[in-house]
Structure 1
Amino acid sequence: MQFQVRKMQKADWQRVYEIYRQGMKTGLATFTVEELTYEEFDQERLSVGRLVILDDEEVVGWATLKQAYPKIPEYDGVAELSVYIDEKYQGKGTATFLMEQLISVSEDEGFWMLESDIFSNNPGSIALHEKCGFRQVGFREKIGKDSCGTWRDTVLMERRSRRIGND
């Protein structure tokens, strides 16, 4: 497949949200289960590093960055990433391609570290992150309850840039 990546636009929101809802329904991707407006999404994500991946002009995945520690200026180069892929495109290299693009953009923007907090029962996401140079740095037992009231564990993973912050 030939994928194209471009900056996310507000007009992509409906499709981005559809893919996000797919992730919510799996119970493997996020604690979030409530409705989310574009304005809320826009507020919590950085304006840089918002990407969509296209297959023949259709958005089939998206990725964003969040400031990891927004009130601590010394951590301005640390961001949390999110990557979501349409279920029909999972396992086809789509997420790897998109994450590699996001890593490149993040380094161009001066981020020296990316982190991800992944449900421990999501081996596909953990493997994707490892493939893209992340390493496991922590395990958080019972960090929060999901929508059914079940405690969930997460794996904290990080990727240190080889280009930025190595002085």
Structure 2
Amino acid sequence: MDYKIEEMTEENWEGVAKIYLEGINTGKATFQSEIPSFQDWDKNHIKICRLVACKKNKVLGWAALSPTSSRCVYAGVAEVSIYIGEEYRGQGIGKNILKSLVKLSEENGIWTLQSGIVRENNASIALHKSCGFRELGIREQVAKMPNGIWHDVVLMERRSSIVGID
């Protein structure tokens, strides 16, 4: 499939939000229950390291980073969000976006990427492992969905081998 991975802009938001909603609807991609406005989403994500995979201006998938803490000692630690459109899953797009996000994060001084993934989301866990993330542990029944179902969260981390080492 012919597509480009490029910087996400506000103009991509409609396509990003559509894919985000698809993730919400799976019940295992996020604990978010509704799509925020772009302005609210923008406030909670790092301005750099926002990527989309696009084919002829259609967003196929996206990834972005959010800070894990406001404390300056954690400036090089970020949390990954990655979503692929339903019809484009299993085609390698997620791996290409995540690899690009890792590279871009390192270019911007980020030494640790982390993800909290719903335990049932086997595809996302496998994707993260294929890009160098390791499983740290499981937070059991840490999140209760609006439907009353509790979920475990798998904590994953990728530590850079080129940034943040002395």
TM-score range, shorter chain: over 0.9
Gaps of 5+ in 2: none
Q: Is the 8 A contact 2:20 2:35 kept in 1?
A: no
Partner residue, 1:92: 91
**Cα distance in 2 for residues equivalent to 1:39 and 1:159:** 28
Partner residue, 2:25: 25
Question: Cα distance, 1:116 vs. partner?
Answer: 0.2
Q: Percentage identity across aligned positions?
A: 41
Secondary structure, counterpart of 1:159 in structure 2:
strand
**Cα distance in 2 for residues equivalent to 1:41 and 1:9:** 12
**Aligned residue pairs, count:** 166
Structural RMSD (CA): 0.8
Partner residue, 2:52: 52
The alignment's TM-score, normalised by the length of structure 1, stands at: 0.97
Secondary structure, counterpart of 1:104 in structure 2:
helix
Partner residue, 1:9: 9
Partner residue, 1:165: 164
Letter of the structure 2 residue corresponding to residue 165 of structure 1: G
Question: Cα distance, 1:110 vs. partner?
Answer: 0.2
Q: Is the 8 A contact 2:106 2:162 kept in 1?
A: yes
**Cα distance in 1 for residues equivalent to 2:3 and 2:161:** 26
**Cα distance in 1 for residues equivalent to 2:34 and 2:59:** 22
Question: Cα distance, 1:147 vs. partner?
Answer: 1.6
The alignment's TM-score, normalised by the length of structure 2, stands at: 0.97
Partner residue, 1:136: 135
Secondary structure, counterpart of 2:132 in structure 1:
coil
Question: Cα distance, 1:144 vs. partner?
Answer: 1.3
Question: Cα distance, 1:69 vs. partner?
Answer: 1.4
Question: Cα distance, 1:56 vs. partner?
Answer: 3.1
**Cα distance in 2 for residues equivalent to 1:84 and 1:27:** 13
Secondary structure, counterpart of 1:79 in structure 2:
strand
Question: Cα distance, 1:28 vs. partner?
Answer: 1.1
Partner residue, 2:154: 155
Q: Is the 8 A contact 2:54 2:61 kept in 1?
A: yes
Partner residue, 1:64: 64
Kindly provide the CA deviation profile for residues 10-29 of structure 1, in whole angstroms up to 9, marking residues without a partner as x: 11111100000000000111
Gaps of 5+ in 1: none
Kindly provide the CA deviation profile for residues 51-99 of structure 1, in whole angstroms up to 9, marking residues without a partner as x: 11112331111110001112x2111100001010001110000000000
